[in-house]
Structure 1
Amino acid sequence: MEPGSNRGVSPEKPSRRAEARNSPIVHGTGWLFSPMWSPRSKARCGEFVSGVPSDQVWLDDHSDFTREYFSRRSSTVSGSQPEIQTPSPRFPRSSSDHSSLLMASSHHRTSAPLAGSHQDASCSPDRLNPLASTLNAPEWMDNICHSPCSPRSPRSPRSSRFSFTACRPLSPICPCSPYAPQVLQPVAAKAAGCGRGEGCPWMMGLLGGGLSGMGSVAELCQGAVTHSGELFAAEGGCLSLVRTDCGGRSNLEEVVALTALGNSSDGSPYGHAHQELFRGVMECVMATGSPINLRDASEDPKFNMHNNQSLKIGTVLSVPIKNHRREVLGVVVMINKRNTCDGSLSVFTNMDEKVLSSHMDVLGMVLENVQLHESSRQEAKRSQALIEMAQVLSREHHSFEALLSKMAATIMPFTHAQYCTIFIPGDQTSVKEDEISFSRVIHMECEELGSACQIYRRERDVSDVDPSFACRTLTAMETLNMAKSSEESIRSIICCPVRNERSEKVIAVCQLMNKRSRDSGELDAFNRYDERLLEDLAVYCGLALQYAQALQITEVRRASIQVTQEVLAYHITATEQDIQALQDATIPSAESLKILEFHFSDFGLPEDLTAQATVRMFLDLDLVKDFKIDYKSLCQWVLSVRRGYRSNVPYHNWSHALSTAQSMFAMLMATDQLQNIFTRQEILALMIATLNHDIDHRGVSNSYIERSQQPLAQLYGHSSLENHHYNLCLFILSNDGSQILNSLSAEDHKAVLQLIKRAILATDLNVYMQRRKEFFTLANKSSVSWKSEKQRDLLRSMLMTASDLSAITKPWPEQRRIANLVAMEFFAQGDKEREEFKIKPIDIMNRENSTRLPFMQVEYIDEICYPLYKAVSKLFDTCSPLMDACKKNRENWLQYAEEAEEQQHESSDNSNPETQENKEEDTQSEG
């Protein structure tokens, strides 16, 4: 069935049907802007209700066309009828007028939705007279229309047969009214077109004006209250909106204060008691979501609190303001409806409730859109402010005050605040408000110059700024927002605490004062968007304060480190007399010092000769010549490195450093192939690394440092000692007078330092154990190409370990002496672990295993030393003396272990009495 057709009426000509199809769907907007219209009712009309034919739905939704169609059809059937001229609708003034008025009820609205198809298109007066005659005026109006709050579908069998548009003052009509039934001529109403069936101009203005022309929320609400007051001839009214606080609690915020409407009073006659009373009514409406209509409030004594009869509360109507999701956005209250004829007090009827609800439905829809629009605008403004503050925070500033000043200047144009002050408290332990003091105050002022504003900082003393609000905020640790202040110079103020994220301690207070309206320029109150902006500023100020404090602490520590380095440089640098003595001394030859031999030992060597032997190594390797090293700087550097080793450490001291450097020197001098493989920079790096590889050793291992959580472990994480040795090596190389690498270019200097670092880190036995398999595989090859940096790095690493472990290749007496020193150092660490950590040390550090030292040395040679020297000897046969000496010392340790075991057995036998008696018997029998 085509839309626009009707089963009960057959068209006369096909052209009529085509004309109906092509006719405009909607001819007017009266049905939409009727005071009885609700946004929800139209939305429901757009759905096809089960059991209702679609053609009826189409007819109801296109009432303009339908009414015109049935008008033409009725004219055709009944003959020529005079056209009915329908004036503006009037309320019936008496029961006798009901029939005549209802006869025109199908004409007085140009586009009202029709009733279901089971009802007649026109209504007989005879059918309606009994109904009209039995009801008084308010009840008659209650039955003439259904409620927009719960609208009945025009397609429903229970739907009302009539619709009635009434948006003029809804009050009982007295006989003297100019709108009596005998006067049916159009008369201008107070509410403009809001009573002539052409729609409500207030609704039309809201829905047709767009968001840009609606003004603020307060202006919108004020207009709604004013219009409703005129519509119902109410004496007073108020409106509040629902606000949700930070805790998620909903509260009513007064937008339109309780005030008199119309001409009843110049000001507001209602006092604080009235306001609290109506606030309770509004909170009840907010909680239930249902209207409250008090038709005789005078029965409640709470409403008769004033002796003045003109201020007594007689009737009260309060309805919720809801959005399309049926959520309560606010509540409106109308007080004391007056009869427009004689000014007598009248009750709010059900019709009034429905009309006001329909108005508030429109207001709720518009309010939600306005709030969404305002929220999006504020969020965009907030995002812009956050971006600008982040940019300010990311830049470098010459002072902390300049940073905070720029951040305050960023937020002031967004909040339209006249003053912005940041209070920074001093060091204090008291939290009492009268004992709080501020050490610094940053005060900014904004001066508006037309559309622009100029922000500048005022140099203010702490005593010149009132800190009372900041003290209250600091004590309460909550945001303070005061719309009005007792002081004349302060109209509005908002304070927000600045917290330290770690300690939750308030470290500052941000304060905005005197907000100016962007439209009128008058002082206004700070809203919740301003609160959010200030809280954002507080977050960034907190970050800035923490950054400034961290920077200040860093600067202090940096200064402390510089002082420590100066002290260290002074104590680690040799005296001028020692430097001059070494510089003037005649350096013995390498042969006389025996530093070319693999079995070299510095035991018994005078201390000054150890420094001269080090200088001789650099001279014979031509490092001084090739790198243009200043001879005095070399002497000072050698003496400084020697002073860097601790004398109270049994093994890892200067003697061990010299022995390691001598082993590297001997391998380089004995093997021309090594000098051809390595570059001059690599050889220089190897010699520097061997002398510094254990500098400032503490006599404990990396595992002990990590377990005891020493600063070295926290500083480096892995290979703590080796990293510390390298950093101290850098410190000496950069010390005045010890800069032996000054002649290198920046690129070569960086490359040499990197080589030194990798060489020193290679002395960590864990690194050796990880890389030795690769080296052993390389040594088993028939030929090796050393052009690869990776292979040369592996070779340097293995040669550093071979030099570090060279004590195992020394002559037997020297080897035993050094082994005892190593055991002494290890056992001391084991004692510390047992005492501090309450654990059993590993075998090599357990003093209880001291008798097993020879066996542990054999295991040490088999697992660590011998495989390395064997691989080095395969690659470079000139280094085979190291392998041979290591193998010989293994035999000596094994023999020593067997002898020690025999002595242990003998001592145990001598301590046994039975064994002693058997020996005596054997002696006597032999005698």
Structure 2
Amino acid sequence: MQDSRFHEEVDKKMGYKTRSILSMPLKDRDGVVIGVAQAINKISPADEPFDEHDEKVFGSYLAFCGIGVKNAQLYERSQLENRRNQVLLDLARVIFEEQSNVANLIHKIMMHTLSLLQCERCQVLLVDDSQHLGLFSRVFDLQPSDFDNDDTYNREGPQEPRFPINIGITGLVARTGEILNIPDAYNDDRFDPSVDEDTNFRTQSILCMPIINASGKIIGVMQLVNKVDKTPFNKNDENIFEAFAIFCGMGINNTQMYETTLKAMAKQRIALEVLSYHATAPLEEANRLKKMNIASSQRYNLLDYRFSDFCLDDDDTLKATIRMFLDLDLLETFHINYEIFCRWILSVKKNYRNVTYHNWRHAFNVTQTMFCMFKTGHMSNILTNTERLALIIGCLCHDLDHRGTNNQFQIKTDSPLSELYSTSVLEHHHFDQCIMITNAKGNDILCNLSQVDYEKVLGLLENAILATDLALYFRYRGAFFQLVNSGTADWSLEENRDLLRSMMMTVSDVSAISKPWEVQKKVAELVASEFFEQGDLEKRELKVQPSAMMDRDQKDLLPSMQVGFIDNICMPVYEAISKVSPKLEPLLKGCQENRKRWSELAEIHTKKSQEESLQEKNDEDEDEKESTS
């Protein structure tokens, strides 16, 4: 207590009384201090302090201890280095084995990282080359419970990962290339605690590093969250993780280059295929259409939800399309040259294949429904001229170059389209076809728009065409239903208008379900025929059993499948859209009437099947009786 170097606060906290201390350095063979050893309170009757003899004994003992500790440190370090080298060799093998798919590669890298560094979560965020650093195009998120030996893990995360990524930290690393080791996230200003809200996960420590390619460019960020033993990430973790990040950068860069090459080859094959099948409409045809008399909307019955194109020939559909654009005042508003417009319509029609259902006639009918919603349903009171232009073009072009098979078929057959687009395969292709036609010389109907308006129309047009993918409809319809059911929808908000436009595209796309019974029945048979053709292809080329709606052998189930289609897809969106404008209720009533008809047919089929089953059973019983007698 009389030595100024002693801090009595230690005794106060511990409840211990320190009387004497013998403290000596722990040195290695080179005399470098690697630690300190301390003896407290010599046990003696008179509480004597440590003497010179004690110092000699303690010093001799510590000489051996220093050698032992140093050897143990070297052995432990060699073990860690050996383990690190082995893991990196395994990782190098994995990287060079998997060079075809970024998602698979990153999944394997994250599995190795979780296993080696024993952490609760691993994330990889790839930087979007088309954007500024800090924005990520793809996000991968893995924890130990996500994968097992049967390889069922969904490798690429959804657009919105279940675990929100802390953009503050990952964005900083992506911008600066700085390595961040944060032992206590909640005491760091760069951490956003909201990422843990509404989850059962709590972030404690974070280790975040940039992923750099061979050129020194930051292509992504790799992040570890929470060690399993709850300790912070140490320097050894940093060294191993840094090596991982280096290998990651090499592998991801190589795989991205490979994927880019595949996409370029797929684009080339698609372009050659399209060019061999389609061509821009000849100028002579455009001049012929230009000279035709365009009748009124009433003459074509375009303002009626019960409209049918069965009585119109191809020229009538072209002229009716022109009438819709004229009545919406789009040609004058956007300074569209009439001759160019005529040639554009002819080119759009020409780019529809002669498939059973998803052809020009279907696109024309979808466009008529959207036009009717604008004019008869008073939706023009909500949407702007720019939105109406994008939606009407979107309807006319939403199935361009459709092959009569769906997205799943493209994926199953590894078609060039499936290699080019990972989601909404056909819809992305329809949009690309629309842009190709609209940008072609002589078809450029948007050439007089300002750059700002042109970009606005293209953005709306892309969203409109992609909205016809029913997978996206199911994703967004919940928010739309909640919005309209609240009764307080504010259509001046862009996010609400975006939902409304998407739902209007779905309403128009499936509008055949609301037509008069004879029209609906015929259209349903056309749809079924196209589905059966795909089912035949699956049986013949893929050697698989198609789903019921694609199976020609189960065509008797069409009525019950139509009831399911109405209940699951059509009825909910028609009920919701009719709340936006009461003038849209005829669509809902038409859908309800057709459901009743299909339900009656389904009941008849069920009753017939039951009677046939009963008759078969009776026949079997009779045969059995005769056999017994």
| Cα drift, residue 729 of structure 1 | 0.2
* Cα shift at 1:605: 1.2
The alpha-carbon deviation at position 603 of structure 1 amounts to: 1.3
Work out which of the residue numbers 313, 319, 323 in structure 2 matches 1:612. 319
Query: Residue type of the partner of 2:543?
Result: K
Separation of aligned partners in 2, 1:761 and 1:870: 22
Cα 1:916–1:769 shift into 2, 3 Å: same
Distance change (3 Å), C-alpha of 1:600 and 1:45: closer
Q: Which deviations, in whole Å up to 9, do the C-alpha atoms of 1:417-440 show, x marking residues without a partner?
A: xxxxxxxxxxxxxxxxxxxxxxxx
Deviation at 1:898, TM superposition (A): 2.2
Deviations 1:540-559 (CA, angstroms, capped at 9, x unpaired): xxxxxx9xx99xx99x9799
Shift in Å, 1:714:
0.6
Is 1:910–1:916's contact at 8 Å kept on the other side of the alignment? no
- The CA distance in 2 between the partners of 1:858 and 1:656, in whole Å, is 21
Structure 1 residue 567: Cα displacement: 4.3
Q: 3-state DSSP class of the match of 2:286?
A: helix
Q: Which residue of 2 aligns with 1:652?
A: 358
Q: Which residue of 1 aligns with 2:516?
A: 811
Q: Is the 8 A contact 2:267 2:420 kept in 1?
A: no
Matched, 1:898 2:603: yes
Amino acid at match of 2:452: E
Say which SS state the counterpart of residue 690 (structure 1) adopts. Answer: helix
- Change beyond 3 A, Cα 1:625–1:735: same
Aligned to 1:718: 423
Instruction: From the superposition, tell whether residues 45 and 793 of structure 1 become closer, same or farther in structure 2 (CA, over 3 Å).
Output: closer
Correspondence 1:764 to 2:469: yes
Native 8 Å contact 1:861 1:886 kept in 2: yes
Mark the structure with the bigger radius of gyration: 1
Partner amino acid, structure 2, of 1:622? D
Matches of residues 33-44 of structure 1 in structure 2 within 5 Å? none
- 1:627 corresponds, among 330, 334, 359, to 334
Size of the aligned set, in residue pairs, is 370
Q: Give the alignment of 1:100-249 within 5 angstroms.
A: none
Structure-2 residue corresponding to 1:643: 350
Partner of 1:247: none
- Give the CA deviation at 1:680: 1.1
After TM superposition, give the deviation of residue 831 of structure 1 in Å.
Answer: 2.5
Choose which of 544, 557, 572 in structure 2 pairs with 1:867.
Answer: 572
Counterpart among 480, 483, 489 of residue 778 in structure 1: 483
After TM superposition, give the deviation of residue 787 of structure 1 in Å: 1.1
Give the partner amino acid of 2:550. M
> Within 1, Cα distance between the matches of 2:445 and 2:424?
26
Q: In structure 2, which of residues 445, 452, 456 is the aligned counterpart of residue 747 of structure 1?
A: 452
Check the 8 A contact 2:398/2:431 in 1, yes or no. Answer: yes
Distance 1:852 1:566, change over 3 A: closer
What is the rounded CA distance, in whole Å, between the counterparts of 1:745 and 1:884 in structure 2? Answer: 42
Change (3 A) 1:786 1:852: same
What is the 5 A alignment of 1:648-727?
649-672=355-378, 674-727=379-432
Matched, 1:885 2:590: yes
Is the alpha carbon distance of 1:565 and 1:888 closer, same or farther for their aligned partners in structure 2, counting shifts above 3 Å? closer
Q: Matched residue of 1:633: which SS?
A: helix
Offset, 1:916:
14
CA distance in 1, matches of 2:342, 2:321: 9
In 2, Cα distance between equivalents of 1:616 and 1:846: 40
Length-normalised TM-score, structure 1: 0.38
Structure 1 residues 821, 46: CA separation in 2 closer, same or farther (over 3 Å shift)? closer
CA displacement at 1:700 relative to structure 2: 1.0
Task: Please give the alpha-carbon distance, in whole angstroms, between the structure 2 residues aligned to 1:557 and 1:778.
Answer: 44
Tell me the distance in 2 between the aligned counterparts of 1:652 and 1:45: 83
Aligned to 2:227: none
Q: Distance in 1 between matches of 2:300 and 2:529?
A: 29
The alignment status of 1:586 with 2:293, answered yes or no, reads yes
How large is the RMSD of aligned CA atoms in angstroms?
3.3
Cα offset, 1:575, TM superposition: 2.6
Looking at structure 2, the residues matched to 638 and 664 of structure 1 have their Cα atoms a distance apart, in angstroms, of: 17
Tell me by how many angstroms 1:746 deviates: 1.3
Secondary structure at the residue paired with 1:797? helix
Distance (whole Å) between structure 2 residues aligned to residue 805 and residue 45 of structure 1: 84
Counterpart residue type for residue 889 of structure 1: N
Q: What is the correspondence of 1:299-448 to structure 2 with a 5 Å cutoff?
A: none
Equivalent positions of 1:289-300 (< 5 A) are none
Query: Distance between the aligned counterparts of 1:46 and 1:637, measured in 2?
Result: 87
CA contact (8 A) 2:269 2:416 kept: no
User: Cα offset for 1:597?
Assistant: 0.5
Alignment of 1:904-919 (within 5 A): 904=609
Q: Paired residue for 2:556, among 836, 841, 851?
A: 851
Cα deviation digits, residues 293-322 of structure 1 (max 9, x gap)? xxxxxxxxxxxxxxxxxxxxxxxxxxxxxx
Q: Distance in 1 between matches of 2:454 and 2:324?
A: 21
Q: How far is the alpha carbon of 1:789 from its aligned partner?
A: 0.7
Is the alpha carbon distance of 1:558 and 1:806 closer, same or farther for their aligned partners in structure 2, counting shifts above 3 Å?
closer
What's 2:543 paired with?
838
Is 1:788 aligned to residue 490 of structure 2? no
1:675 CA displacement: 1.6
- CA change 1:628–1:910 in 2 (3 A) is same
Q: Could you tell me which of 564, 583, 599 is aligned with 2:306?
A: 599
1:773 CA displacement: 0.7
Q: 1:587 aligns to what SS in structure 2?
A: coil
How far is the alpha carbon of 1:653 from its aligned partner? 0.6
Q: Secondary structure at the match of 1:744?
A: coil
Question: AA paired with 2:469?
Answer: D
CA distance, structure 2, for counterparts of residue 884 and residue 566 of structure 1: 41
Question: Alignment partner of 1:700: what SS?
Answer: coil
Change in CA separation of 1:563 and 1:813 when aligned onto 2, cut-off 3 Å: closer
How far apart, CA to CA, are the structure 2 residues paired with 1:727 and 1:46? 73
TM-score (norm: length of structure 2): 0.55
Q: Structure 1 residues 730 and 46 mapped into 2: Cα distance closer, same or farther (>3 Å)?
A: closer
Query: Which runs of 5 or more residues in structure 1 are unaligned?
Result: 1-43, 48-500, 502-545, 918-927
Which amino acid in the other structure matches residue 518 of structure 2?
P
> What secondary structure, in the 3-state scheme, does the structure 2 residue paired with 1:572 have?
coil
Q: Name the structure where helix makes up a greater proportion of residues.
A: 2
Q: 1:669 to 1:840 in 2, by over 3 A?
A: same
| CA-CA distance at 1:781 after TM superposition | 1.7
- Three-state SS of the structure 2 residue aligned to 1:577 is helix
* Separation in 1, partners of 2:543, 2:425: 23
TM-fit CA distance, 1:839: 2.9
Whole-angstrom CA distance in 1 between matches of 2:607 and 2:299: 42
CA deviation vs aligned residue, 1:523-545 (integer Å, no higher than 9, x gap): xxxxxxxxxxxxxxxxxxxxxxx
Deviation at 1:568, TM superposition (A): 5.6
Q: Do the aligned partners of 2:337 and 2:445 also contact (CA within 8 Å) in 1?
A: yes
1:828 CA drift (Å): 1.9
> What letter corresponds to residue 665 of structure 1 in structure 2?
F
Q: Distance in 2 between matches of 1:885 and 1:854?
A: 16
Higher RCO structure (Cα 8 Å, ≥6 apart): 2
